[in-house]
Copies of this chain bind each other. A is one copy, B any other.
């Protein structure tokens, strides 16, 4: 148990993700319920440096649980990565009376939270990124909604694919990771899923599968490719050349980052936000909360940042079996 925390700040940092508002809502309501004050900080660490903060009450977070994006806005802040910037942030926290901070974002944001914790402002990180590429948690805010958005798009693309006997290549987000690709690929019944974590063989994993499926009587195909694999335009051309099947690429892009959060998203974000404040209420900082085997857990930020995420190779194999 550490010091008593009377006023907390909350900010969102890095790329926005659906469910961030549900997390903010849980943070605000839980904190007020525990007798703390809450300051909302606009535009991430950038707003912390300039003191762009406002007091939040129960009503500040009314009717936001169903909204995509983040009501606190988000922005990059290169200055905050410097020692000088962090010192200014600590000073601003003291000026504003903030003695604890909840940071919703990705690994980059957690590094900032670690630095602030070291400098005396206990911080709790909540994983928020659709890419689900944070090692300390099996689930990060935005992932479930992004999957369903990809699905709805592919369900649409499939109509054209089927009507025209085509191959649709769909590039999905994920930065260096293939989680969105793998999960959406299984869910939409893609013939092949290409991810950066597993090398692929063009002939075996695409051409041979298409030919085998053609023989079985199916003439349209969906192939999901993680953006981290790259060269999707070229790949699409190669598929058409190798198989004779007209092939078209769709890059889903920013639609994947927004939208009304799903049920699971809102519940998970609420649970994570609730736990973050429970930790601060107990004077505990420098932690990242997360989901492990369907339970909310928390780790030391330094340890969390060292963790390595293992790609679920069994799930990948299953995808191959049931995709034919």
On A, residues with C-beta under 8 Å from B are: 12, 15-16, 18, 25-26, 29-30, 33, 43, 57-59, 62-63, 65-70, 73-75, 138, 144, 147-151, 153, 155-160, 162-165, 168, 183-184, 186-189, 213, 216-218, 248-260, 262-264, 266-267, 270-271, 273-274, 293-295, 315, 318, 321-324
State A138–B264 Cα separation when bound (angstroms): 14
Q: Given A66-B155, A159-B69, A248-B254, do A187 and B267 touch, yes or no (CB 8 Å)?
A: yes
Given contacts A68-B156, A151-B266, A157-B257, 12 further A-B contacts (CB under 8 A): A26-B322, A29-B323, A33-B321, A58-B213, A58-B216, A67-B159, A148-B262, A155-B258, A156-B258, A159-B258, A187-B267, A274-B322
B266 pairs with A58, CB closer than 8 A: no
B residues in contact with A149, CB < 8 Å: 156
- Complex Cα–Cα for A151 and B261 (A): 10
Contacts A58-B324, A324-B58 known; A258 to B158 CB distance under 8 Å? Answer: yes
Measured between beta carbons, the chain B residues less than 8 angstroms from A63 are 158, 162, 189
Structural contact, A216 and B57, CB atoms closer than 8 A: yes
A218 to B144, CA, bound (A): 30
* Contact B153–A255 (Cβ < 8 Å): yes
Chain B proximity of A132: nearest CB distance (Å) = 12
Alpha-carbon distance between A248 and B216 when the two chains are bound, in angstroms? 40
A139 to chain B, nearest CB (A): 9
Question: When the two chains form their complex, are residues A274 and B321 in contact, meaning their CB atoms are under 8 A apart?
Answer: yes
Taken together as a complex, chains A and B put the C-alpha atoms of A68 and B163 apart, in Å, by 9
Q: Which residues of B contact A155 (CB under 8 A)?
A: 66, 258-260
Residues of B within 8 A of A164 (CB): 16, 73-75
The one of B258, B259, B264 in contact with A264, judged by C-beta atoms closer than 8 angstroms, is B264
Kindly state the separation between the CA atoms of A251 and B250 in the bound complex, as whole angstroms: 8
- Find out whether the CB atom of B262 lies under 8 angstroms from the CB atom of A262: yes
